[in-house]
Structure 1
Amino acid sequence: MEQDQVSMTVEGYDGEEAIMEDAAGSETDEHFARFTGMVNIGEESREYEGLKKAFLAGMKEHARDTQVIAIYKNSLSTLPMKARFATFKAFKDVISHKNGGQGNANIMCAWYGGSKEEITQIVSHGFGRYNGQSHGVGIYLSPTNFLLDGLEASRADENGMRHILLCKVIMGKMEVIPAGSKQRYPSSEEFDSGVDNLEAPRRLVVWSTFMNSHTLPTHILSFRAPSSTTLLMNRIGEIRNLGFVSVTALHLTMVKFLGPAKGALISRTYDDFVKRRVTVVQLLQTVRQIAGDDQLLLEIFKSSMDKRVARSSRRTCTAQAAAELRRR
């Protein structure tokens, strides 16, 4: 099979490594005995340093408390891996041609967090399920500058380590998918993938029908970092900064975004909070579990805040109009 080079560009890492070339470093260690085809990159290599730098940059304020343990590279040493690479390359060429020529496949690097077991299955067999539905139903990956969004799905293994996949993603021509959409396919032949925002996307949405043709896992990073609880508390801090949101406004917005069933669950949870049966941390943890997506949760709170501000503005305008009539 031709050893075609696909460039790797990650913030903080400008090297162009051939995916098909032999990866530098030792054979897979005992922690990844089941990660068939992955090899350990030596810490002295430029590739290791570039990826580590990019990863820690994405960790932002958590970087100093994060330790990169190892970085593993997809060496494409098995027949299924070679087949998936060939499929990825073929679709890259198809999308590029469809969109007007070479370079228009719009390949991006993105992170995918998960448990050790899930990442094992993805590397060995490919993606088997969608992991998001806040902006359409598909595989959600996080751009390099929003690493923390994808990190929350990672889980510590039996050794206390967490793992995250770095993938190449064929995005092609992207379309904006509104929050709450149940879209599962491109809206037309014009588009190839979805995002939540064209200018600064936090979610790269690969439709489930393309999940193993438009994504190519290239590296696994193993690390130790603050727990998901710590990361959640940061999200809670963001939500608290939005101010108070009434139960009624939040419930109505939840129903709009999530549907009546989940909206009713949210309402019951807030009733427990009002009756002091749960704490604010327990409340937001439950809401997060029901919503299934932290950024969607923030959008729901913001939407509720917007409604409150709009109602306040209407009341102010009405009062001003009444005062003007009295003056007349």
Structure 2
Amino acid sequence: MNTGRAHRPQDKRRYPPPSGINHRLHTATARESCANRGIPTSVGLYRGTSEMAVPESGVLQGFPHDKVLRVEEGCDEFISIKHRFYMSIGSLAQYCPLVALQRLRCTADQMIARTEAFKHQSKLLSEKYDGEPNIQDGLYGSSKVGIIQIINHGFDVSALPEDGGYFGIGLYITPEQVAINSVMSSTVDVDGLRHVLLCRVILGRMEEVIRGSGQSQSSSKQYDSGVDNQQFPTRYIIWYPHANTRILPQYVLSVKVDFRSRGLQKQPRTQPITPWMPFRALLSELDKFLPKPTMCRVWRYHCQFLERKITRQELVFHLRQITGDKILIAALRSFQIKKFGAEIAAFLKGKKKK
């Protein structure tokens, strides 16, 4: 199912990299950017799972060097985004590795203008709803040329959605929880990569849009955006007049999708010693005890586990080395207390109904 409107660029020209670009300069800039954000660059290179015709440093071919910056795989920024992406696609991570990450440059003139417009819209909706503009993360998939057009010129709001506008005539953004939908709706480029934008999206108050309604704007002033399902959203609908002011692209994720290897890379999975404590819950608890750089080390090994590069036993071994048993025990106890409290609350709620 196509969950986003594929971009229809009017300009079919190719976008060669500017002449005279020194890729070493871009690598140094990336390191400096990570350092400025407090992110260590000496943690080692974390290579992707696919052998690609992709340079180890510098912006991917075709992307504007003055508007995007390659984030190095050894950088904690890369690991943080990669882990978020893998957590959203779950067991599909071994078939959809993130092989490159590029950040839109905050210093580019157009990016500065977009950011200011985004802040202005956020302020307006904050005043409208007493400080809660409802800003979420979302993804937008398109072709490589379409992504480059968006970076250079913004979202195209002149064409009808290619899926027929089943949920209104607007721009469809995929919630981060169902990121795989955006990846699969994007177009494969000549290198076998699919490219998606990770964006911040101002949603405000959402209204559920009826399939096939042909809606092109909010039904009343009390709503600011649309959604296909309030309880289990798979599409955020941003109406065209607000597409370039309420959507702020931040990263380009380049993913290699290969389901042909399904079953070939599987490793025997042993039963966990503590089945009542899933890794997702454990990592959530550890995040409360550990500083961000240490959590990035944990996420690095968890990414390798999700890619089936290491076994569960190896992951547990690395966790114990990084956190120490005291922290692990504290996280386990915290989870137990929360679980016990939830069970008691459910019991009392059921008792009241009787």
TM-score, with length taken from structure 1: 0.59
Larger relative contact order (C-alpha < 8 A, sep ≥ 6)? 2
* 1:121-200 → structure 2 map (5 Å cutoff): 121-129=149-157, 131=161, 133-200=165-232
Secondary structure of the structure 2 residue equivalent to 1:152: helix
Secondary structure of the structure 2 residue equivalent to 1:194: strand
Task: Please report how far the alpha carbon of residue 28 of structure 1 lies from its aligned counterpart in structure 2 after TM superposition.
Answer: 4.1
Query: Cα deviation per residue 1:162-183 (whole Å; 9 max; x = unaligned)?
Result: 1111000000011110111111
Bigger Rg, structure 1 or 2: 1
* 1:146-295 → structure 2 map (5 Å cutoff): 146-226=178-258
| Contact 2:63/2:148, CA 8 A, preserved across alignment | no
Query: Cα deviation per residue 1:185-214 (whole Å; 9 max; x = unaligned)?
Result: 111111100001112211100001110011
- Aligned partners of 2:103 and 2:60: how far apart in 1? 15
Task: Please report how far the alpha carbon of residue 35 of structure 1 lies from its aligned counterpart in structure 2 after TM superposition.
Answer: 5.7
- In structure 2, what residue type is equivalent to 1:190? Q
- Aligned partners of 2:38 and 2:225: how far apart in 1? 30
Find out whether 1:107 has 2:135 as its counterpart: yes
- Aligned partners of 2:63 and 2:259: how far apart in 1? 25
Secondary structure of the structure 1 residue equivalent to 2:102: strand
- In structure 2, what residue type is equivalent to 1:74? L
Structure 2 gap ranges (5+): 1-32, 42-55, 263-354
For residues 140 and 36 of structure 1, do their structure 2 counterparts lie closer, same or farther at Cα, with a shift above 3 Å needed? farther
Query: Cα deviation per residue 1:139-186 (whole Å; 9 max; x = unaligned)?
Result: 001111111221222112121211111000000011110111111011
- In structure 2, what residue type is equivalent to 1:44? G
- Aligned partners of 1:116 and 1:211: how far apart in 2? 19
- In structure 2, what residue type is equivalent to 1:153? S
* 1:276-315 → structure 2 map (5 Å cutoff): none
Secondary structure of the structure 2 residue equivalent to 1:47: helix
| Contact 1:142/1:202, CA 8 A, preserved across alignment | yes
Identify the match of residue 44 of structure 1 among 53, 59, 74. 74
Equivalences, count: 208
For residues 33 and 198 of structure 1, do their structure 2 counterparts lie closer, same or farther at Cα, with a shift above 3 Å needed? closer
- Aligned partners of 2:123 and 2:232: how far apart in 1? 26
| Contact 2:167/2:209, CA 8 A, preserved across alignment | yes
Identical-residue share of aligned pairs (%): 29
- In structure 2, what residue type is equivalent to 1:163? H
- In structure 1, what residue type is equivalent to 2:248? L
Please identify which structure carries the higher helix content.
Answer: 1
Root-mean-square deviation (CA, aligned residues, Å) is: 2.5
For residues 75 and 116 of structure 1, do their structure 2 counterparts lie closer, same or farther at Cα, with a shift above 3 Å needed? same
| Contact 1:62/1:226, CA 8 A, preserved across alignment | no
- In structure 1, what residue type is equivalent to 2:140? Y
Pick which of 174-183 and 57-66 moved more.
57-66
